[in-house]
Amino acid sequence: MSAVSGRAASVTEAARNRTFGPLYSRNAKAVVSRGLMATRSTNWLVMVSGFFEPVLFLVSMGVGLGAIVGDVRGPDGTSISYAAYIAPALLAVSAMNGAVYDSTWNVFFKMNFAKLYQGMLYTSLGPLDVAVGEIFLALLRGMLYATGFTAVMGAMGLITTAWALLMIPASVLIAFGFASLGMGITSFLKTFQQMDWINFILLPMFLFSATFYPLSVYPEPIQWFIQAMPLWHGVELLRQISVGSFTAATSLHVGYYLAMTAVGMLLTTLRLRSLFLR
Amino acid sequence: MHNEAILPSGTMTAHRPPGVVISAANLTKTYGDVAAVDGITFSVPAGESFGLLGPNGAGKSTTMKMIGGVTRRTSGNLSIMGLDPDTHGPEVRAHLGVVPQQDNLDEELRVRDNLLVYGRYFGLPMSYLKPKADELLEFAQLTDKAKSKVDALSGGMKRRLTIARSLINEPRILLLDEPTTGLDPQARHILWDRLFRLKEQGVTLILTTHYMDEAEQLCDRLIVVDKGRIMAEGSPAQLIREHSTREVVELRFGSERNAAIASRLEGIGDRLEVLPDRVLMYAHDGESALEQVSARGLRPLTSLVRRSSLEDVFLRLTGRSLVD
Amino acid sequence: MTEPLAAPQPALRAHRPEISAAKARRWGAFYYAEQVLRVMKGYSWSIVMYSVGQPVAYLFAMGVGLATLVDSGNAAFGGVSYLAFIAPALLVSAAVMTAANEFTFPVMDGFKWRRIYYGPHASPLTPQQIAAGQIMAVTLRLLLQSAIYFAAVALFGASPSGWGWAGILVATLTGLAFGLPLMAYSASITEDKGQFALVMRFIVMPLFLFSGTFFPLENLPPAVRWVGWISPIWHGTELGRVLSFGYHEAPLLTILHIAVLGGLAALGWLLTRRRFALRMGQ
């Protein structure tokens, strides 16, 4: 109202007038730098191990089983090796798993046990700063893993086109979709038993989303159902990019994830508002 | 109403004259080069409430674990109900109720189920355990929490549940390792009241504590331990009589000046103890000692005359205070 | 003050400590097993969902879906369908994964997180009995889960031989062969630095993927074939295949599988007993 109340009051006033009001203080980077600091004290082997899982699957299934399967039909109709066929799918699965883990178990633990977020919210941070910061960290980690995995694909001779490098940003997009939706869903969950539900959804999605064999083996109604699931779009998107063959479906896949991210962020924001700003 | 006697008199007291239930001679436990318990000797007659008083790391918990038959001694002799816990662990533990320092309740089970499951470890039949569990919940003032999850209980409630659990086999000897550490004053008083009832029923209580008020409230007799050794032994009143004066004057001159002024207090009372935050002046008559301080022209910021406590005994014996 | 209490005392109702001790010496392990089972009952719904859902999902995805890519009746698969080839492997692997969970986090919970082992330890039970009780309860869970898994396999028509049901026992034994040495390791951990995540990713996953699960071990480059030879999953899987569809292998090799699995389980049991006694007696 008056100039006497000084700068502090005007900052508060400005915050109150922002779109997300007290939910967001434009300081997600404080959460990010805390996260980066925390990684220094975590076991680096555990960090590295996350990168190995898809590589182990690629070697086992691609090489071991690939010897029996032989060549299969790639996304552009030409035949490619079985390893080249499943590698992008494994990358998509790994992006999903990492993002879901970071945005569900990790968040659930910090929220209910470590009480980390309560401490953060006693400062000038808003819940959306925390959410955005945590998602950003998850994506950063996902990007490192994706880069490593792409390098392994290159070393195994599974990359034939420069387009394949686009798999890295694409898998970050996939991770973004899963992380934002995952965080919104986690805010509803209260017990470990409920957290188990997440595994019951992830496992079948991993097994059935045309990861190891083409969708055409299913009867048509099941095909539709799987095409409605997010992972299938991720698998198809990365598979197309890996050989540099783009169709109209490509933009559909990208659009699916953009929409999923938007819905996820909206859900997360609404949930945070009802949880923290009552 | 008929709950007066939670623990009916057992065969032990009925068939044996009240004799010694625990005796330790030269009891020693070393971890590597460090002696946690360094040759302590004591014995406890049936029905006594016996305390081990000492600061953290004095060897109290280690002694309790050896009595409880969960840690083997390095040397010395130990007998509980005439049995050696190192060779007859299960037999010894069957006589005991144990309240450990840290609660180790099963948080995945409900409150009442914790009691039932624990009773099963003693081979007790469900026909006995079910009414007994209800009785003990009543005793621990947890009846309305019977179906709650353990992690929903407050610290004081968990502690009372642990005590209820330790009574499921109707033990005649109860080991309590720091029973009230970390509890708020009200919760401590409720707990003391429950323990006092057990004592009245003739249960032998062995407890460790670093709270002097707890030791004074509950113990018939105690040993003061420091660095694994016994520094003194006796009833609380006896120890105070032997190792301290009747009263103490606490004087504060400000943290910078306590030590400097202490030299000007020489000669008043029996003894001076200079601590960083205050000067303790031991005297039979505190008020007259305080008058002498004023007579010397010294004006403390605050002064307090009080009765000597076990804290003073400990300070006298070790030169350190109990609670850091 | 020294007068005995005048109040009438009810009759002693708990049996005497001597009886408690004698009963605990005899049945102690069962008493602790009962406790673990009661805790499991708290999440029995998850256990059943997992036991039923996992086999159905894997059998469909791999045995039916993936099978379309590999030639059925391929000589590489012992002359049977791909589904029948991988069913014993999936059965064994599922038991190993469950064992990997049950013998890590709960053990850490017992010693460190919530210290639940120290409750019974103050009762007449011995550390060895506490270990044995936990093992018995998990064995029961493995048997139940494997039985459900086998029922699913049988419904998929993936167990041609009449001896297929014995795969339930093989899977349980394999779970113990892998799980008991792991339990001894879990009991030795005093500081949680994410060791279990490493065990899952650097030991359980590689063993699952390189133990002749989805394809015969000979299809792997010789450089990594050794993973299978030391893997309980491979020994259990091959044994399961012999029972399930008469997989051809030298009889001596079959005996070796049993010896390795039995030996690992026994060794793990011994190490676990020692670890428990050492750690609790400290």
Q: Which chain A residue has its CA at the smallest distance from C202's CA?
A: A49
Chain A positions in Cβ-Cβ contact with residue C74 (cut-off 8 Å): 68
- The answer to whether A60 faces chain C, any CB pair under 8 Å, is yes
Contact B121 C42 (CB under 8 A): no
Whether B322 is covered by a domain: the verdict is no
* Mean pLDDT along residues A168-177: 95
Write down how long chain A is: 278
Q: Which of residues 220-279 of C touch A (CB under 8 A)?
A: 220-221, 224
* Mean pLDDT along residues B250-264: 83
B204-208, B282-286, C94-98, C174-178: which has the minimum mean pLDDT? B282-286
Contact C31 B121 (CB under 8 A): yes
A-contacting chains (≥3 CB pairs under 8 Å): C
Give percent above pLDDT 90 in chain B. Answer: 49
A190 has a pLDDT exceeding 80? no
- The answer to whether C73 faces chain A, any CB pair under 8 Å, is no
Q: Which of residues 130-189 of B touch C (CB under 8 A)?
A: 132, 165-166, 168-171
Shared-domain flag, residues B131 and B172? yes
Shortest Cα–Cα distance, C180 to chain A (Å): 23
Indicate the residue of C28, C116, C282 with minimum beta-carbon distance to B71: C282
Shared-domain flag, residues B271 and B157? no
- The answer to whether A15 faces chain C, any CB pair under 8 Å, is no
The reported pLDDT for the residue numbered B3 is 40
Distance separating alpha carbons of residues B126 and B130, to the nearest angstrom: 6
The reported pLDDT for the residue numbered C136 is 97
DSSP B41: E
Shortest Cα–Cα distance, B171 to chain C (Å): 8
Contact C280 B89 (CB under 8 A): no
Which residues is B75 bridged to in the sheet?
B28
Contact C193 A72 (CB under 8 A): no
* Residue A21 φ/ψ region, left for φ over 0, alpha for ψ in the -120 to 50 degree band, beta for the rest: left
Q: How many domains does chain B have?
A: 2
Please report, for residues A51, C79, C96, C244, the alpha-carbon distance to residue C158 in angstroms, rounded to integers and kept in the order given: 34, 13, 20, 8
Please report, for residues B176, C12, C49, the alpha-carbon distance to residue B10 in angstroms, rounded to integers and kept in the order given: 20, 6, 49
Shared-domain flag, residues B200 and B293? no
Q: Which chain B residue has its CA at the smallest distance from C4's CA?
A: B202
The reported pLDDT for the residue numbered C72 is 59
Pairing relationship of beta strands B34-45 and B20-31 according to DSSP bridges = antiparallel
DSSP C64: I
Q: Which of residues 8-67 of B touch C (CB under 8 A)?
A: 8-11, 31
The reported pTM is 0.83
Domain ranges of chain A: 3-276
Shared-domain flag, residues B76 and B182? yes
The reported pLDDT for the residue numbered A20 is 63
Whether B312 is covered by a domain: the verdict is no
Give percent above pLDDT 90 in chain A. Answer: 43
CA dihedral A79, A85, A88, A92 (to 10 degrees): 130
Average pLDDT score, chain B? 87
The reported pLDDT for the residue numbered B286 is 87
Shared-domain flag, residues B156 and B260? no
B47 has a pLDDT exceeding 80? yes
Q: How confident is the model at residue C189 (pLDDT cuts 50, 70, 90)?
A: very high
* Mean pLDDT along residues C30-42: 91
Q: Which of residues 131-150 of C touch B (CB under 8 A)?
A: none
Chain B positions in Cβ-Cβ contact with residue C35 (cut-off 8 Å): 106, 117, 120-121
- Check the CA dihedral B237-B242-B245-B248 and report its sign: negative
Q: How confident is the model at residue A27 (pLDDT cuts 50, 70, 90)?
A: confident
Shared-domain flag, residues B103 and B203? yes
Alpha helices in B47-201 (DSSP H): 60-67, 89-95, 111-120, 126-139, 155-166, 185-200
* Mean pLDDT along residues A170-192: 89
Distance separating alpha carbons of residues A22 and A13, to the nearest angstrom: 10
Whether B321 is covered by a domain: the verdict is no
B6 has a pLDDT exceeding 60? no
Contact C219 A68 (CB under 8 A): yes
Q: How confident is the model at residue B319 (pLDDT cuts 50, 70, 90)?
A: confident
How many pairs of residues across A and C have Cβ atoms under 8 Å apart? Answer: 95
Answer yes or no: are the C-beta atoms of B177 and B211 closer than 8 Å: no
Last residue of a domain, one of B183, B209, B235: B235
- The answer to whether A229 faces chain C, any CB pair under 8 Å, is no
Question: Which residues, in sequence order, are CB contacts of B271 under 8 Å at separation 6+?
Answer: B245, B281, B282
Distance separating alpha carbons of residues A114 and A134, to the nearest angstrom: 15
CA nearest to C239, candidates C220, C211, C203? C211
Shortest Cα–Cα distance, C54 to chain B (Å): 25
Indicate the residue of B4, B9, B170 with minimum beta-carbon distance to C14: B170
A238-266 tens-digit pLDDT: 999 999 989 999 999 999 999 999 999 99
Shared-domain flag, residues B171 and B40? yes
Q: Which of residues 64-123 of A touch C (CB under 8 A)?
A: 64-65, 67-69, 72, 82
Distance separating alpha carbons of residues B147 and B137, to the nearest angstrom: 11
The reported pLDDT for the residue numbered A178 is 95
Domain ranges of chain C: 42-280
Question: Which residues, in sequence order, are CB contacts of C78 under 8 Å at separation 6+?
Answer: C85, C241, C245, C247, C248
Backbone angles phi, psi at A268, to 5 degrees: -60, -45
Average pLDDT score, chain A? 85
Which residues is C75 bridged to in the sheet?
none
- The answer to whether C6 faces chain B, any CB pair under 8 Å, is no
Distance separating alpha carbons of residues C219 and C212, to the nearest angstrom: 9
CA nearest to B109, candidates B153, B145, B158, B148? B148
C129-141 tens-digit pLDDT: 999 999 999 999 9
Backbone angles phi, psi at C214, to 5 degrees: -100, -5
Which residues is B251 bridged to in the sheet?
B279, B303
C24 has a pLDDT exceeding 50? yes
Burial call A64-75: b when 16+ CB within 10 Å, e when fewer: bbbbbbeebebb
Q: Is A244 exposed, middle or buried (0-12, 13-18, 19+ CB in 10 A)?
A: middle
C99-112 tens-digit pLDDT: 999 999 899 989 98
3 state SS of A8: helix
C11 has a pLDDT exceeding 80? no
3 state SS of C16: coil
Shortest Cα–Cα distance, A189 to chain C (Å): 15
Give ipTM to 2 decimals: 0.83
A105-119, A159-173, B108-122, C13-27: which has the minimum mean pLDDT? A105-119
Indicate the residue of C69, C198, C214 with minimum beta-carbon distance to A72: C69
Contact C126 B98 (CB under 8 A): no
A209 has a pLDDT exceeding 60? yes
The reported pLDDT for the residue numbered C15 is 86
DSSP A65: I
B137-184 tens-digit pLDDT: 998 999 999 999 888 899 889 999 999 999 999 999 999 999 988 788
B-contacting chains (≥3 CB pairs under 8 Å): C
Q: Which residue has the higher pLDDT, C113 or A82?
A: A82
Whether B315 is covered by a domain: the verdict is no
Whether B317 is covered by a domain: the verdict is no
- The answer to whether C53 faces chain B, any CB pair under 8 Å, is no
Shared-domain flag, residues B65 and B212? yes
* Mean pLDDT along residues A150-169: 93
The reported pLDDT for the residue numbered A168 is 95
Whether B175 is covered by a domain: the verdict is yes
C-contacting chains (≥3 CB pairs under 8 Å): A, B
- The answer to whether B235 faces chain C, any CB pair under 8 Å, is no
- The answer to whether A45 faces chain C, any CB pair under 8 Å, is yes
CATH number for position B202: 3.40.50.300
A4 has a pLDDT exceeding 80? no
In the sheet with B20-31, reading across from the earlier edge strand, the strands are B34-45, B20-31, B75-80
Q: Which residue has the higher pLDDT, A85 or C192?
A: A85
DSSP C5: P
Indicate the residue of C50, C53, C61 with minimum beta-carbon distance to A208: C61
A52 has a pLDDT exceeding 50? yes
The reported pLDDT for the residue numbered A277 is 63
Domain of B20, in residue numbers: 2-235
